[in-house]
Amino acid sequence: MDFVRRSFLTLGLLAAFATVLPGAHAEPASIVVASTTSTEQSGLFKHILPLFQKKTGIEVKVVALGTGQALDAARRGDADVVLVHDRPAEDKFVTEGFAKGRQDVMYNDFVLIGPKDDPAGIRGGKVDEAFRKIAAAKAPFVSRGDRSGTHSAELRSWKEAGVDLAAAKGEWYRDVGQGMGPALNTASSLGAYILADRGTWLSFKNRGDLTILVEGDPRLFNPYGVMLVNPDKHPTVKVKEGQAFIDWLVSPEGQQAIADYKIGGEQLFFPSAKKG
């Protein structure tokens, strides 16, 4: 009996000791990043996140949503970091106190895509002219309709073109309420016009008869910013790990990783973090 008691005591002490050992049975460090469907569906995260995890041991769990939904998730405390692309919405997020600052990470551009026969005659024109022509022709147009950065850019484009979208909407305007990939699939099946980010377009396989018709207009510039969710709002935010991810993204190593991501030899995103 003494032997049995000593054995149980020894096992108990070993178990208690294991619980206080640094890192004993510890879960790997991880953070949640609320980001956009464009960064996810373009394949960028699959390229850069393994590099970050190998360097730091921190796992990044991405929740890919439209920018508006990603910011709402962060407002609820459901993310540690936000990486999105709608500058007015990002500035509002900071002003509301949900982040203490925003940092530039990268940019690409939007492109206006449509069928090769271009029934609205927008090829090679300016963005505002193109949107006016699409509305006038009532040519099929697919909108993401999901409060994403791309959706916000589309709505601004209609407004800048002088089109009252609420009055002009009809069967020609399809509001799908989905991410960039599914919206492009819908446009492909309908032979419709659509505004897309270049990164997702380059990685998109089901193009059908679609092609880029308008690009290069300064209004199509598409910057991405990153923010750490304010721990004063949500004490559960993993500040150390989240800041480590941000610091890596804007470091020369992270910026090079972003620049190195290409499809068919074409670069999808361009680093823009400010030096110094």
**CATH number where 95 lies:** 3.40.190.10
Looking at 204, 220, 236, the residue that finishes a domain is 220
- Residue 25 domain-assigned (yes or no): no
- Residue 6 domain-assigned (yes or no): no
- Residue 5 domain-assigned (yes or no): no
Question: Does residue 233 sit in the same domain as residue 101?
Answer: yes
Q: How far, in Å, CA of 180 to CA of 202, rounded?
A: 12
Number of domains in the chain: 2
The residue type of 189 is S
Each residue of 225-241: pLDDT tens digit?
999 999 999 999 999 99
Positions in the chain whose pLDDT score sits under 50: 1-24
Q: Where are the alpha helices (DSSP H) in the chain?
A: 2-20, 37-41, 44-56, 67-75, 87-95, 127-137, 149-160, 165-168, 180-190, 198-203, 239-250, 252-260
Range of the domain at 118: 108-220
Question: Does residue 120 sit in the same domain as residue 243?
Answer: no
Each residue of 133-192: pLDDT tens digit?
999 999 999 999 998 999 999 999 999 999 999 999 999 999 999 989 999 999 999 999
Q: Using a CB cutoff of 8 Å and minimum separation of 24, what contacts does 244-253 make?
A: 244/56, 244/58, 245/31, 245/33, 245/52, 245/56, 245/58, 245/60, 245/81, 246/81, 246/103, 248/52, 248/55, 248/56, 249/83, 249/105, 249/273, 250/103, 250/104, 250/105, 250/226, 250/274, 253/51, 253/55
Closest CA to 68 of 102, 42, 93, 33: 93
- Residue 204 domain-assigned (yes or no): yes
Question: Does residue 97 sit in the same domain as residue 45?
Answer: yes
Question: Does residue 216 sit in the same domain as residue 114?
Answer: yes
